[in-house]
Structure 1
Amino acid sequence: MPSRPVDSTALARIVRRLAAAPAAPWLHTEVARRMGERLALILRTPDSVLQWWGGCGGGDDVLASAYPAARMWSVEPGAEAVRRREAALRRPWWSARRWTTATPVVLDEADTVTARVGLLWSNMALHWMADPRATFARWKRALADDGFLMFSTCGPDTLAELRALYREHGWPSPAADFVDMHDLGDMLVEAGFADPVMDQEQIVLTWPDAESALAELRLLGGNADPRRWPALRTPRWRRELCDALAARRDAQGRIRLRFEIVYGHAFNAPPRAKVAARTEVALDDFRAMTRRPSPSTGKDRI
């Protein structure tokens, strides 16, 4: 399986900037909306939901609407991100949402997550994690038996036009490589998830000029590729980049960049007894291993 080289220092800087933003980027909230539409395909209602990096994921309203009775958790990348998230979630006494929905419990990613939740949701965060395999293993530990995972991330066709522009000019890569959805599916199986389903779609963003495009790209992250330029670029180089982007305007005079959005969901397979000539299974473990949702009601059945 191909490796994904990233600069860990640059990656940490990008994550801090995303966590410090006053609101999730528009693209994140749009992907959260689309991912929320997929929840209707899951025939079960979790009583607890954990968002991974919920502050920059833009999924609060989607999840509150889908599961108004569920207890909410939110894991954030660092103590400062936790403080910002708690402040953003604090509701005034007169807010209707203060009385109709529970305020999520906010946790630091560095802490051990002991919650065993019915749904772990991660929107547009996985591509900022250096080791997807380790992340999947950690997510699995946070899920209850038969809980399910839903996530979205950028795929390898993201910013294909910008990558082509950089190659034409002999410049290093503008972004670290993103992992293919088939490799992510294999990683889910390796981590012990069951029935993984992966799909993808293309979202094209357009801007009236190069400066607007570059400003939004910065809001969406940064370049963590260790093969990128080793030093800061000059104003002259930036003008050259803007001119090159402007030269690629479409028929409507707008700059277009493509984002491949990969969606995945999978279930946390319950423990299974090892087959032997004689196998003893505790009654509680047997119930966990045989519990399945009813196709018609989505409720557990034994």
Structure 2
Amino acid sequence: MTDIYIFDRKSVNQHHKRAKAQIEKHDFLFREIADRLGDRLMDIARDFPKALDLGSNHHILKETLGSRGGIQDFTTAKFCPEEYPKLSESKSSAKDTESSKAIEIIAEIIPVASRSYDLIISNLCLHWVNDLPGILLQAHQCLKADGLFMASMIGGETLKELRACLMEAEMDIQGGVSPRVSPLIDVKDAGALLQRAGFALPVSDFDRLEVSYANAFDLMKELRGMGETNAIHNRTKAFTRKETLLRAAQLYQEKFSDSEGRINATFDIVYLAGWAPHTSQQKPLRPGSAVERLSDFLNTEETKLT
């Protein structure tokens, strides 16, 4: 049970619940990245019959993946708003919970028995997790030997344009800046967390998507429709002033519009992949065991250090 509270879990779930009713109008990013995850899964020449969707509150990932990766048994694990499990919930076994094909993750504890899944996959969910190292460690423990973990997260410099404009607008109108910027992971940190969690052959990389909107208000509406609005635990609870939003929209139009007058928004998607250790996996060679010199490969002379 985590003692880290970067995000207000109740607010995150409220935002997602509000968005779920009309998610099909704002699901382009979820479907695009789910499809890219599916393509990466298809590049691996093996099947993953039993899979766990870690964090989704809708069926987009399941629908998009279909049977890619040889998935036959698909279970969804959804983060719940409660910080602590109720007494009746704490008595239920992992086996009972899994049988319903829908798992409730309470207090960021995944109620799954060790070595249960061939594949754990997560699509644009983990950037709302308070204890990301803890979730990755649990995911590692839930995988069968030689099982695969794959995830996509919003990270990097996502929405850097909107962030800059809101910050400047708040300074201009209100004379200060409120906490509204979520901490976002970068590629190097993602790879380090995979190693820390015990994954073998860890890989992290990212894609950058540039999306255009008619104006800043259309972008904000899209983020609300996706359920991706501010849920920082220490955020200011009051509504953002109208004057601040108008000023931010004006700054956005001035600084980040294209030749057609549309504004551009950046989405950086960080991908993570790692395997539960197994004896069949590749391992690094022992230091000093190389049979050829790097200088021969580069066609250059080797210089000894003195």
Aligned to 2:28: 26
Per-residue deviation, 1:107: 1.3
The aligned runs of 1:181-260 (5 Å cut-off) are 181-220=187-226, 221-225=228-232, 228-229=235-236, 231-247=238-254, 248-260=256-268
Gaps of 5+ in 2: 83-98, 172-176, 283-306
1:3-40 Cα deviation digits (max 9, x unpaired) = xx86432x431233214513363211111111111112
- TM-score w.r.t. length of structure 1: 0.73
The aligned runs of 1:39-50 (5 Å cut-off) are 39-50=41-52
Q: Aligned pair count?
A: 247
The aligned runs of 1:4-19 (5 Å cut-off) are 7-9=6-8, 11-19=9-17
The aligned runs of 1:43-122 (5 Å cut-off) are 43-56=45-58, 58-67=60-69, 70-78=72-80, 105-110=101-106, 112-114=111-113, 116-122=116-122
> Would you say the 8 A contact 1:47–1:69 is kept in 2?
yes
Indicate the SS of the match to 1:253: coil
Per-residue deviation, 1:230: 5.4
Check 1:195–1:292 CA distance in 2 against 1; reply closer, same or farther (3 A cut).
closer
Per-residue deviation, 1:141: 1.8
* Matches of 1:213 and 1:61, distance apart in 2: 26
* Matches of 1:68 and 1:146, distance apart in 2: 15
> Would you say the 8 A contact 2:253–2:263 is kept in 1?
yes
Aligned to 1:273: none
> Would you say the 8 A contact 1:71–1:104 is kept in 2?
no
1:230-260 Cα deviation digits (max 9, x unpaired) = 5322222222222222333211211111010
Aligned to 1:158: 158
Aligned to 1:280: none
The aligned runs of 1:280-291 (5 Å cut-off) are 290-291=279-280
* Matches of 1:251 and 1:61, distance apart in 2: 37
* Matches of 1:119 and 1:185, distance apart in 2: 18
1:133-165 Cα deviation digits (max 9, x unpaired) = 011011112111110001000112111112222
Aligned to 2:123: 123
Indicate the SS of the match to 2:60: coil
- TM-score w.r.t. length of structure 2: 0.72
Indicate the SS of the match to 1:54: coil
Per-residue deviation, 1:105: 1.1
Gaps of 5+ in 1: 81-102, 271-289, 294-302
Identity of aligned residues (%): 25
Q: Superposition RMSD on alpha carbons, in Å?
A: 2.6
